[in-house]
Amino acid sequence: MHDFLISAAAFIVLIGVMVIVHEFGHFIVAKLCGVRVEAFSVGFGPRLFGFKIGETDYKVCLLPLGGFVKMSGENLPGENMALEGADPEKIEAQATDPGALTSHPRWQRMLIGVAGQHSTCC
């Protein structure tokens, strides 16, 4: 039983390190390209602790098997959202925001996506 607990703890630590490296790849390239990063999270679920520097909220959340980088404009509403009652002015403001992911050239968006993949494989 002791060996199992040690192995499980080591697995969680290893996954946590891999997630941090992976997400940092997305994060650093997004910052270098001028994309506004709203959150850098290690873990999912409720926030345990963190701090905010500039526009970015750095946080550690309850469930350690995962993480994410939240970029501005990453999930812009589609055209059908305007029909579902979303504020058209807010949609337009997000679409024209120079710090939003969607305001950057496709090659930069591709680099941001690939940066996380490459950082964990090499």
CA angle, residues 107, 30, 113, in degrees to nearest 5 = 55
CA distance 96 to 99: 9
Q: Where are the domains of the chain?
A: 2-121
- Cα 90–chain centre separation: 22
Which residues participate in catalysis according to the annotation? 23
Q: What percent of the chain has pLDDT over 70?
A: 80
Q: Which of 14-28, 32-46, 62-76 has the lowest mean pLDDT?
A: 62-76
- Residues 44-102 pLDDT 10s: 899 999 999 999 999 999 987 788 999 998 875 554 454 455 666 666 666 678 889 88
